[in-house]
Structure 1
Amino acid sequence: MTTPEQSKGAVIVTGASRGIGAAIAQKLAEDGYGVVVNYAADADGANSVVSAIRSHGGRAIAVRADVAAPDDVADLFDRTKQEIGPLAALVNNAGATGGQARIDEQDADHLTRLMQINVVGPMLCAKHAVQAMSTAHGGAGGSIVNIASIGAQAPPGISGFVPYEATKGAVVSFSRGLSNEVAPEGIRVNSVSPGVIDTEMAAATPGAREASATSPLGRVGRPSEIADAVSWLISPAASYVTGSDITVSGGL
């Protein structure tokens, strides 16, 4: 692992206490970034990820913040600057499925909360990331990667997640639009759309594993495979890539 003296700057990974977010945080720490492990409720999980990173010589802190709460997000970015350093990248990973139910069984308050977490949250975080990294604001540029989902394409096989799929479609559209807006200011913006990945969330989703078996590769994906895609997108190797959605879904 890269030593702290060789750190490439700070990266915030939202929703990083477990699953895909935890894998991304650990991979980016291996790449030499100082990592902010964000979480909303799972403090033990976040601290475990931080401990794993530090045990390999990396830099990391855990910061609790609800990405849908403006004050929490502002504090998240303030602590990043104070405790880790200038921001180099943001990975908007935090999200919720909203549970499995047909649209005619949904509650308005429930739908509003889902939109706040999955759509408003990434936008709020991106707002602060642009303020920190944009050359128009005195920053050095950087990268934003938004974690969307193959669900944005509403594939058949898993029913009852129409609102979730709609939020992830919004994430893809947001990423594309934002990439055009901030490209002249040194910020690249891309999204990654995972298929069914071997996480607690997938395990709790009826029909998910069965759907992954229908993919050309015929298996569930690994969190590390999403982390590798994110690592590449924020690296210099992807310096000519912006406004793209990278699908990592086994061919679905």
Structure 2
Amino acid sequence: MSGVLVVTGGSRGIGAAVAVLGASRGYDVVVNYASDSPAAESVVSRVEALGRKSLAVRGDVADEEDVIALFDAAAGLGPLTAVVNNAAITGNTPGRLDAQDVSVVRRVLDVNVTGVFLCCREAVRRMSTRYGGSGGAVVNVSSTAARTGSPGEWVHYAATKAAVETLTWGLAQEVAPEGVRVNAVAPGLVDTGLHAAAGMPGRISRIAPSIPLARAAEPEEIAEAVLWMLSPAASYAVGAVLPVGGGR
């Protein structure tokens, strides 16, 4: 694999793992981040240590101007061939739906759905043969919450991930004839900082026993699935959603 890989939310967790694994597979990597510049620069350093070019680009994926600037910056590294839409938030307010504040829900929808829409749009405009591109691949990071609904915690978040899966399926059909494959990976419970940031540091130990593998995934395990979907090995996968949830 070669070319430029854009990873949104690439400064930590699954996004950072995707960026580093992508570099090991031959991509130059653009690390998008929202606020944690030191973390993003650390990922850039790890990519560069693998002999690939990299840069960190701050931007809110829900902001159209920021997204366009992100993809314009990526062009400085070379031809865009891969995009991983990983940036997402839960709102950090776990609880029943009837306890959620509408401003939080709107922000989650804006980042998780509008953000994926904007990044997919800009990816297509640069990779599709319709626009003079040479093709490429997009992987949208969903969640098994799209199927489980995440009751009692993040129903609004789960709904955004279901929307991402529908967007993936529809867009995949539009652009497959133009050389762009669009798919999704749906992680289950992953050992990242998301749980503690949401005020539930014990969430992993609480949920892990309900998973057939009895543990959370490591971010690198999800990254392997993402990189497979980007690779020629997945050349006939179009509009697919790959669950990586340990059986749950």
**Matched-pair contact (CA < 8 Å) for 2:149–2:158:** no
**Does residue 232 in structure 1 map to residue 228 in structure 2?**
yes
Contact kept in structure 2, 1:175 and 1:243, CA below 8 Å: yes
Alignment partner of 1:48 is 2:36: no
Aligned residue for 1:211?
A: 207
Matched-pair contact (CA < 8 Å) for 1:101–1:161: yes
Using the alignment, how far apart are the partners of 1:101 and 1:44 within structure 2? 31
Aligned length: 244
Tell me if structure 1 keeps the 8 A contact 2:138–2:230.
yes
Q: Deviations for 1:139-179, whole angstroms, at most 9, x for unmatched residues?
A: 001000000001111256x6221000100111111111111
1:161-240 counterparts in 2 under 5 A? 161-204=154-197, 206=200, 207-240=203-236
Distance 2:69 2:208 in 1: 38
User: What's 1:127 paired with?
Assistant: 121
Amino acid at match of 1:189: V
CA distance in 1, matches of 2:105, 2:195: 20
State the alpha-carbon separation in 2 of the partners of residues 208 and 172 from structure 1.
Answer: 24
Identity %: 48
User: 1:204-233 deviations in whole A, cap 9, x for unaligned?
Assistant: 453343222211111110100111001111
Q: Confirm whether residue 27 of structure 1 aligns to residue 15 of structure 2.
A: no
Counterpart residue identity of residue 245, structure 2: S
Q: Aligned residue for 1:4?
A: none
Segments of structure 1 that go 5 or more residues without pairing to the other structure are 1-6
Aligned-residue Cα RMSD (Å) equals: 1.3
Stretches of 4+ aligned residues off by more than 6 angstroms: none
Give the match for residue 153 of structure 1.
147
Q: What is the CA distance between 1:57 and its match in structure 2?
A: 1.4
Show structure 2 runs of 5+ residues with no match. none
Query: TM-score, structure 1 length as denominator?
Result: 0.93
| Contact 2:191-2:204 within 8 A present in 1 as well | no
Greater shift in the superposed pair: 108-117 or 187-196: 108-117
C-alpha separation in 1, matches of 2:222 and 2:17: 8
Counterpart AA for 1:186:
G
Kindly indicate whether the alpha-carbon contact (under 8 Å) linking 1:195 and 1:212 is maintained by their aligned counterparts in 2: no
1:49 is aligned with what amino acid? Answer: V
Cα distance per residue 1:48-98 (max 9 Å; x no partner): 00011112212111000100000000100111002x111001100000011
Preserved CA contact (<8 Å) 1:196 1:202: no
Partner Cα separation in structure 2 for residue 60 and residue 233 of structure 1: 21
Asked if residue 66 in structure 1 is aligned to residue 63 in structure 2, the reply is no
2:243 is matched with which residue?
A: 247
With 91-100 and 208-217 compared, the bigger mean Cα shift is at: 208-217
Of the three residues 136, 145, 148, the one matched with 1:142 is 136
CA–CA separation in structure 2 for the residues paired with 1:61 and 1:213: 39
